[in-house]
Amino acid sequence: MKVHIPSPLLSYTNQQNDVEANGSSIAEMLDDLNRQFPGIRFRMIDEQDSIRPHMKIFVNGEQVWGLETALEGSDEVYILQALSGG
Amino acid sequence: MKSTSKRKPSNAKSEKASVTLLIATKKGAFILNSDGKRRQWEVKGPIFLGNIAHHLVLDPRDRRTMLMAAKTGHLGPTVFRSTDRGKTWKEASKPPAFAKAPEGQKGRVVDHVFWLTPGHASDPGAWYAGTSPQGLFHSEDGGENWESVTGFNDHPMREAWTGGEQDGTPDGPKMHSIIVDPRDPNHLYIGMSSGGVFESMDKGGDWKPLNAGCLSEGAPEKYPEFGQDPHCVRLHPLAPNILYQQNHCGIYRMDRRSPNGDARWERIGEKMPKSIGDIGFPMVLHPRDPDTAWVFPMDGTQVWPRTSPGGKPAVYATHNAGKTWKRQDEGLPKEQAWMTVFRQAMTADARDPVGIYFGTTCGEVWASANEGAKWSCIARHLPHIYAVEAAEI
């Protein structure tokens, strides 16, 4: 599936805005991203497996709140940076 | 203890050696390099512009490795590493993180890495990191991989000691002032805001409070076993039975008869002028004279402005373990200068005479090449400064 990467994380993806990742859930997709781009997962998901406060994940335009959300190969995932102050 | 400041220093750096200052700010890090006379300074950076850098530290054991504690407004906390004195950087493979909580339980999350301390001289590659909320982490490989120090992070008293996550600074409760006894790699000290000062004799396996004599103003018990707010704790490297702390409730010194012997803080800030008080964040020790120290007082009245009292910034120095204090403000603004200097943002070099440096939250770096007698601004318009460390490169 296609995953859109926000600008704060482009240093992990060699400046690629769009990358391909596999997985049948958000958790598996993130694990695959981390295999390809080591360290990227922890910057957006904390050690208790929660999405960090200033990051958001959308699947096909709908925001998801947990990592257990199921995914299909045709899904489009957007990782966004939320507001985070000055 | 007799002062040694007038002796010819045996461990002073060459008078021709330049000094490097490592500046961590809210928007990235900077490196300031001096000429041999410490008169001219060059600013290099920014490093990781936009990252919230809480601490940037050089490893004194190899004088090449640097670690930076960082996060951004969006991204989680991490540690960046350089093995070429800051020319190139890589991220830690395994940054500090608490253990995953069992199903159904609320686990703790590292908000930011706040403090970095190189390990003992006999333990190359070892580092310690303190986090917000209060957590202690250890690396054995130069900061590449970090493990939880479970002797503290899982200690049954940890929650009581730290007072919970609402009991901290506006930027979150913090572990700081991680100190390794230069005589013994197993003997560690930590400071916590809040929580107090603690020590371990077994490299972090177990801990005990070390707060006797230290005031906790406003608490139900004025001198509790723990729960104090040490802003900055220092151990003298040549007289390691002597510790100082700038606390939320005054300036203190501890003289121990043995490395883990009798431990009682004596308030030495009461000889400060009453109009100034003895509240502040940082404290700096003379590298050779255990009786000489510097503080940067701040306004701790009523709603705690945490700015220079009266808008007239000054450093105060003692040369006799706090029996007397001397105001040092030559060269500093005389009025309308509401400086705040954070706990990591004041440091000393190893030269003779000692250079003293501090960075402000309004992005200025001030330096004195003569132990505080005269000050000059060596950098301005930097971002909000969190930490200043003098490095011997």
Check whether B6 has a pLDDT greater than 60.
no
Q: What CATH number is given to the structural domain containing B219?
A: 2.130.10.10
B10 located within any domain: no
Nearest residue to A8 (alpha-carbon basis) of B46, B27, B75: B75
Question: Side by side, which strands form the sheet with B78-82?
Answer: B52-58, B66-71, B78-82, B90-91
Of the candidates B74, B78, B100, the beta carbon closest to that of A47 is on B100
- In this prediction, residues B14-43 reach a mean pLDDT of 93
**H or E element: which one contains B196?**
strand B196-200
Query: What pLDDT shows up at residue A83?
Result: 75
Q: Is B147 on the interface with A (CB under 8 A)?
A: no
B381 located within any domain: yes
d(CA B100, CA B103): 9
Confidence of residue B298 (pLDDT cuts 50, 70, 90): very high
**To probe the interface with A, which of B48, B49, B75 has the most A CB atoms within 10 Å?**
B75
Nearest residue to B245 (alpha-carbon basis) of B200, B192, B187, B289: B192
Nearest residue to A38 (alpha-carbon basis) of B101, B145, B125, B53: B145
Q: ipTM of this predicted complex?
A: 0.93
Contact B297, B277 (CB under 8 A): yes
CA distances to B235, B268, B319 from B285, rounded to whole Å, are 8, 14, 10
- pTM for the model: 0.95
B7 located within any domain: no
- In this prediction, residues B20-45 reach a mean pLDDT of 97
- In this prediction, residues A50-75 reach a mean pLDDT of 96
Q: Is the CB of A47 less than 8 angstroms away from the CB of B95? A: no
Q: Which residues of chain A neighbour B107 with C-beta distances below 8 Å? A: 47-48
Confidence of residue B11 (pLDDT cuts 50, 70, 90): low
pLDDT tens-digit map of B169-218:
778 999 999 999 999 999 999 999 999 999 999 999 999 999 999 999 88
Nearest residue to B383 (alpha-carbon basis) of B29, B93, B20: B29
Computed over every residue of chain B, the mean pLDDT equals 94
Nearest residue to B109 (alpha-carbon basis) of A77, A48, A12: A48
B12 located within any domain: no
What is the span of the domain harbouring residue B293?
20-99+109-391
Contact B314, B328 (CB under 8 A): yes
Query: Which residue carries 């301390």 as its tokens?
Result: B117
Chain A: closest CA distance from residue B49 (Å): 12
- In this prediction, residues B119-131 reach a mean pLDDT of 97
The pLDDT > 90 percentage for chain B reads 89
Of the candidates A8, A48, A84, the beta carbon closest to that of B107 is on A48
B15 located within any domain: no
- Token digits for B122? 């006999």
B327 located within any domain: yes
Query: What pLDDT shows up at residue A85?
Result: 67
Domains of chain A, first to last: 2-81 (3.10.20.30)
B14 located within any domain: no
Domains: count for chain B: 1
B190 located within any domain: yes
Question: Could you write out the DSSP letters of every residue in B212-281?
Answer: TT---TTSSSSS-SS-B-EEEEEE-SSSTTEEEEEETTEEEEEE-SSTTS---EEE-GGGS-TTT-S-EE
Strand partners, B328: B315
Confidence of residue B14 (pLDDT cuts 50, 70, 90): low
Rounded to 5 degrees, what are φ and ψ at A9?
A: -105, 5
Query: What pLDDT shows up at residue B5?
Result: 43
